[in-house]
Amino acid sequence: MDLSEFVEGASVQTKKPHACGGDRWRIVRRGADVRIKCLTCGREICLLPDELKKRIRRTEGKA
Ligand SMILES: [Zn+2]
């Protein structure tokens, strides 16, 4: 997986589900860190790109 896949608006699936049980996220903002939003509960979290890369199972491109 390439970091260039983390574009704003892309959907991603994490290896481990969020606390709410959802594993689908949308990339909200891509900068020095990446803000992603849980599509199940709407909560947003910030991760470093390298951390995000480790947590993600796959990206689903821009919806
Ligand atoms: Zn959630």
Query: What pLDDT, in 10s, does the model give residues 27-61?
Result: 999 999 999 999 999 999 999 999 999 999 988 87
The answer, yes or no, to whether residue 6 has pLDDT greater than 90, is no
Q: What is the reported pTM? A: 0.87
Q: Report the C-alpha gap between 12 and 45 in whole angstroms.
A: 13
18 CA → ligand 1 middle, Å: 5
> How many domains, the chain?
1
Tell how far the Cα of 20 is from the centroid of ligand 1, in angstroms: 4
Domain span at residue 45 reads: 3-62
In this prediction, residue 4 carries a pLDDT of 79
Question: How many whole angstroms from 46 Cα to the centroid of ligand 1?
Answer: 13
For residue 59, how far is its CA from the centre of ligand 1 (angstroms)?
17
The span from the CA of 16 to the CA of 48, in Å, is: 17
Ligand 1 centroid to Cα of residue 9, in Å, is 17
